[in-house]
Structure 1
Amino acid sequence: MQLTGAEIVVECLKEQGVDTVFGYPGGTILNVYDALYKHSNEIRHILTSHEQGAAHAADGYARATGKTGVCLATSGPGATNLVTGIATAQMDSVPMVAITCNVTLPCLGKDSFQEVDIAGVTMPITKHGYIVKDITILADTLRKAFRIAKSGRPGPVLVDITKDVTAMLGEYEPAVPEPEQLPKSYTQEDIERVLQLIKEAKKPYIYVGGGTIISDAFPEVMEFAKKLDAPVCDTLMGKGAFDGNDPLYTGMIGMHGTKTSNLGVSSCDLLVALGARFSDRVVGDPKKFASNAKIVQIDIDAAEINKNIKTEASIVGDLKEVLSIVNKQMPQMEHMEWVAYIKDLKEKYPLNYNKEGLSCPFVMEELDRITKGDAIISTDVGQHQMWASQYYKYTRPRTFISSGGLGTMGYGLGACIGAKVGMPDKICVNIAGDGCFRMNMNELATASRYDIPIIQIVINNHVLGMVRQWQTLFYEGRYSQTVLKDKVDFCMVARGLGCEAIRVTSKEEVGPAIEKAISLKKPVLIECIIQEDDKVFPMVPAGSAIDEVFDEKDLAKSK
């Protein structure tokens, strides 16, 4: 059948099962928006306040649902405003398709109004990118984009379409999306080598990353841990990949990981990495990381094997598939002494914070209690992000949404909106510091426009907390440009943008504020005023061995 390019775009979105897109219109993409208008009963469009918000919302939607997120933008500044959101999705392996439209073909390369080579700009931060100048390849290109975004190790794909292609007529033939082909490059010998190391180990440790969530391998990871009888730590991206209340769970590993996880991994004789990439925030000094252990890595991306840490054995493949095979072939193991030793570490080094006065850890514990650990928590980046990862108990995958690899301040609010749109029956809460929140707080207008009942908690210490913490510990208290004691009133801003607002200044007010926010079923901001010098502990100095982890007591002793 004959359709315009814009209509083909919409038909391809429907083919892929897309029910929601996030974006902002402009001149070059007007034809696509006109086509969307005619299909508004099939595809919901969320108009964000800024294109970066659209990219983050598509990202949050994808992380919460497991589907591919979609965002739209016009040419020039509209497209470049997506860049940070695209890079965020790339670093955290999030399936996303960003559709932009460019100037007409005759105007390309002539510095035309709002012309930017967005495919070139985003080449290093996408899994793949296309510019479509021919309507005959438009449908197939969009189908490839969705297939690439979701297959193997997921990631963002950009499709840039010239405006004349969206206007001209072309032939469209409906197609059914091809089933995902999981890459398989491992052998039975690889499986047997890993099983051999498992059987030889006396002190095994399991280290889970974001790949476990992407693979939907939650049941297989639980079974593996029980059969191996080994303690489990996670990365920031791996939160919820293993039940945070399970006795075998020891908390996060790395720069702000627990003492138990950092000391335990440093003492183990076998470290099994599941869907984890050994980032610098996890390993610290790579020469000293898990130096007593043989390391096994299971990952879908062959490029991650031996990239940062040398392995003794590895399996390249989908984690869910690989673990289902390993679990069948692995005998029940028993490591009573080792597990008891780790249990003693947990009792000796529990997470702890100053209980006097209002603090972010207390807010997170109250949020966990009230929601019974069943909310979707998104965060921005900084101290609040670490506290949110430490003091809320994540028991299921896709319940913690945060920018791990890129560390994008201003990410969380858009992501929370996307998560709530994708999972409307879940309580969705974004935790932000005051520094992060002011970057994209305009997205509260998006939440109020559509009556999206998210809860935005601002942990306000009137400073850039994480940077200030480093300035305190490593820069002799020189607080260069980290003090935010200005005249901004976040509650007034929230009300001005159409949301409810509650200010909390004491511990007694936290629980009632959260309960009220949930009951209102509308977008609500809760501002929590905390001390400017609250710090995140434990901590490992950048580039140090993870067994050099210290907490507040250690810091006091060293003075």
Structure 2
Amino acid sequence: MNGIELIANILKSEGIEWVACYPSNPLIEALAKIDIKVIAFRHERGALMAADGFSRTNDRQKFGVFVMQSAAGAENSMGALAQANADNIPVLVLPGGYTLDRMSVAPNFWASKMYEPVSKYAETIFKVEEIPSIMRRAFHHLRNGRPAPVVVEMPADVCAAQVPTELENSYSFPKQFTSRPTNDAIDAAVAAIQQSKNLLIWSGSGVLMSQATKELQELAELLSAPVYTTMPGKSSFDERHDLSLGAGSTTTTLAAKEFLLKSDTILALGSSLTKTPYSQIIPPGKTIIQNTNNPDSINKDESVDVALVGDTKETITELIIKLKAIYGESKMYDDNVRQEISQYKADMKKEFDPFLNSEEEPISPYRVVKAINETLDLENSIITHDAGAPREQSVAFINATVPHSYIGWGKTTHLGFGLPLIIGAKIANPDKFCLNIMGDGAFGMSGMDFETATRQKIGITTIIYNNGGMATYPVGASNDFPVAREKSGVGVMTGNYANFARTFGGHGIEVTKISELAPALQKAQELNKEGITVIIDIQTSMVSKRGYRA
């Protein structure tokens, strides 16, 4: 057995069922020989993004794995790795490596060294005897502490070497461990909650990752506290609940905006509280209680009054126990909070109804959103957006129900991420209808992986807002580029994406009329069940209307 074969066997013992790849890497053949499915994508970036999507919906119970070649393959993967790292997604990345004598010679790309800033842990295999220990450390880091990418680089000569017989079955499976905040920290948080006059719960992706959505609902109902979810935390709290403020990206709902402004205390659960252009900013003057499993996130972007370092589910459970000792088992039902949230939702609906019910053709993107909310079984669907206008016209408007029914993403928001992401999500959830919404600009970044899904019979649906340009930079806006457009066509895009789908073996549906929206979504669901990949090419208008910002 050589080093590559040992790594393959370790992955098998870890329950890895499939691996995303872009050839070539000797591990690919070794995996196939032991019946681990290998899916070849059309670009390294897309392969890693699909592995990311698989991990996002598995909450550290299963992990996406990505394999690629050294040099150009490792270089091409950098952007997708940075995206996963920014969003705290645990994915295992296994680049091939140069032989040891060439690894540190310029300009050769030493992947594990170059990846250190955009991963949690990166290690090179220098001796074949180290493989069991290195892989144990890798899976330990995937399961424990801050969730993030882990890299193990496989130099060609080291991993081709023979493994000592006594090491062939020496791999030790690392367990998952959780920690909880100290009693003093919990007591401090409870005291701050008691003193608050207007408490708001800020729910991040850590609530999903720790599978704490039921505990979050119990806590919110115990306190009658409104719940705002970050974009990565969207679907951690059912948006049909009368305490839900909805989710936010650059913009958010009216209810979220108003409660973010008026709250005096924010209980942030499972959140790094990272300030990005694609998140709501916490207004000054708040008492902040922050829970995270990464101590480095405390006091990073916000001045934190109480730090609850530990697993989010464990933290919420401890808070509930302490608070019930004070308030009793019955819910602190506050109808005033619920009525206020309901009124804000009604006011927002009134403001956006002209867009959600627009009869204009080309079709308003908001009319598409309305069709999605009304046509799909949202509890049995997984929906994601792409970067730019589709994000801002989806996150605050499409209703998230059960965990991962909507995947919000992006601290750096890589254009084109939605398509490979939804492929990974579909592999993780084969019985769910998986829908990606993207613009024509985003499709240009990753559209060829539609062929990957078609070839592998991964039944996903992609809606493309075909508006002939980049709606993030609408004509006449402050970020428009009118001279560059006139002289060089910058921002102008054309194409028939339904024809593209047919060319690459999928099914293409063209939608030009509002009456065609619901039938198109229904047809896509039927086809996806048969493993047929679908593009719905919708002729849309550029609508500059967005949600709110605190």
State TM-score, norm by structure 2.
0.91
For 1:474, the equivalent position in structure 2 comes to 478
8 Å Cα contact 2:28/2:38 also seen in 1: no
1:363 aligns with one of 365, 368, 380: 368
For 1:425, the equivalent position in structure 2 comes to 431
Which range moves more in the overlay, 68-77 or 381-390? 381-390
8 Å Cα contact 1:5/1:169 also seen in 2: yes
Counterpart Cα distance in 1 of 2:512 and 2:230: 32
Counterpart Cα distance in 2 of 1:162 and 1:254: 41
Aligned 1:402-551 pairs, distance under 5 A: 402-466=408-472, 468-469=473-474, 472-475=476-479, 478=482, 480=484, 484-520=491-527, 521=530, 522-532=532-542, 534-540=543-549, 546=550
For 2:241, the equivalent position in structure 1 comes to 246
2:539 is matched by which residue type in structure 1? I
Partner SS for 2:141:
helix
- Does residue 179 of structure 1 match 2:178? no
Partner SS for 2:515:
helix
8 Å Cα contact 2:232/2:410 also seen in 1: yes
For 1:550, the equivalent position in structure 2 comes to none
1:361 is matched by which residue type in structure 2? Y
Counterpart Cα distance in 1 of 2:303 and 2:333: 27
Residue by residue over 1:438-483, the C-alpha shift from the partner in whole angstroms, topping out at 9 and shown as x without a partner, is: 11101011011111111111112212111x14x7443477474585
For 1:107, the equivalent position in structure 2 comes to 102
Aligned 1:159-198 pairs, distance under 5 A: 159-171=152-164, 172-184=168-180, 186-198=181-193
Counterpart Cα distance in 2 of 1:267 and 1:274: 19
8 Å Cα contact 1:59/1:69 also seen in 2: yes
The verdict on how the C-alpha distance between 1:250 and 1:101 changes in structure 2, with shifts beyond 3 A counting, is same
Residue by residue over 1:194-239, the C-alpha shift from the partner in whole angstroms, topping out at 9 and shown as x without a partner, is: 1112122222111111111111110110001000101111111111
Aligned 1:3-402 pairs, distance under 5 A: 3-26=1-24, 29-30=25-26, 32-40=27-35, 43-66=36-59, 67-110=62-105, 115-171=108-164, 172-184=168-180, 186-253=181-248, 255-281=250-276, 289-330=282-323, 331=327, 332-350=331-349, 352=352, 353-354=354-355, 355-357=358-360, 358-373=363-378, 374-402=380-408
8 Å Cα contact 2:242/2:338 also seen in 1: no
Counterpart Cα distance in 2 of 1:263 and 1:110: 56
Counterpart Cα distance in 2 of 1:361 and 1:126: 37
8 Å Cα contact 1:70/1:99 also seen in 2: yes
Counterpart Cα distance in 2 of 1:170 and 1:366: 58
Residue by residue over 1:177-207, the C-alpha shift from the partner in whole angstroms, topping out at 9 and shown as x without a partner, is: 22112244x2111111111121222221111
| Alpha-carbon offset, residue 266 of structure 1 | 0.8
Which range moves more in the overlay, 482-491 or 251-260? 482-491
1:474 is matched by which residue type in structure 2? S
CA root-mean-square deviation: 2.1
Partner SS for 1:21:
strand
The verdict on how the C-alpha distance between 1:480 and 1:189 changes in structure 2, with shifts beyond 3 A counting, is farther
Residue by residue over 1:92-132, the C-alpha shift from the partner in whole angstroms, topping out at 9 and shown as x without a partner, is: 110101001112223333458xx421122211100011111
Counterpart Cα distance in 2 of 1:51 and 1:418: 14
Which range moves more in the overlay, 477-486 or 62-71? 477-486
1:511 is matched by which residue type in structure 2? A
The verdict on how the C-alpha distance between 1:64 and 1:391 changes in structure 2, with shifts beyond 3 A counting, is same
| Alpha-carbon offset, residue 12 of structure 1 | 1.0
State TM-score, norm by structure 1.
0.89
| Alpha-carbon offset, residue 176 of structure 1 | 4.3
Partner SS for 1:17:
coil
Counterpart Cα distance in 1 of 2:286 and 2:250: 20
| Alpha-carbon offset, residue 273 of structure 1 | 1.1
Partner SS for 1:279:
coil
8 Å Cα contact 2:498/2:537 also seen in 1: yes
1:308 is matched by which residue type in structure 2? D
Counterpart Cα distance in 1 of 2:211 and 2:460: 25
Which range moves more in the overlay, 501-510 or 251-260? 251-260
| Alpha-carbon offset, residue 268 of structure 1 | 1.4
Residue by residue over 1:376-414, the C-alpha shift from the partner in whole angstroms, topping out at 9 and shown as x without a partner, is: 112221111222212221112223234311211011111
8 Å Cα contact 1:266/1:292 also seen in 2: no
The verdict on how the C-alpha distance between 1:255 and 1:25 changes in structure 2, with shifts beyond 3 A counting, is closer
Counterpart Cα distance in 2 of 1:386 and 1:198: 32
1:363 is matched by which residue type in structure 2? V
8 Å Cα contact 1:501/1:525 also seen in 2: yes
Partner SS for 2:396:
helix
8 Å Cα contact 1:276/1:299 also seen in 2: yes
Residue by residue over 1:318-374, the C-alpha shift from the partner in whole angstroms, topping out at 9 and shown as x without a partner, is: 110010111112124354434433333332233615223222222222223222212
| Alpha-carbon offset, residue 256 of structure 1 | 0.7
Aligned residues: 526
Structure 1 unpaired stretches of 5+:
541-545, 547-559
For 1:555, the equivalent position in structure 2 comes to none
Partner SS for 1:377:
strand
Counterpart Cα distance in 2 of 1:131 and 1:111: 17
Counterpart Cα distance in 2 of 1:192 and 1:423: 40
Counterpart Cα distance in 1 of 2:422 and 2:280: 34
Counterpart Cα distance in 1 of 2:250 and 2:159: 48
What percent identity do the matched residue pairs reach? 27
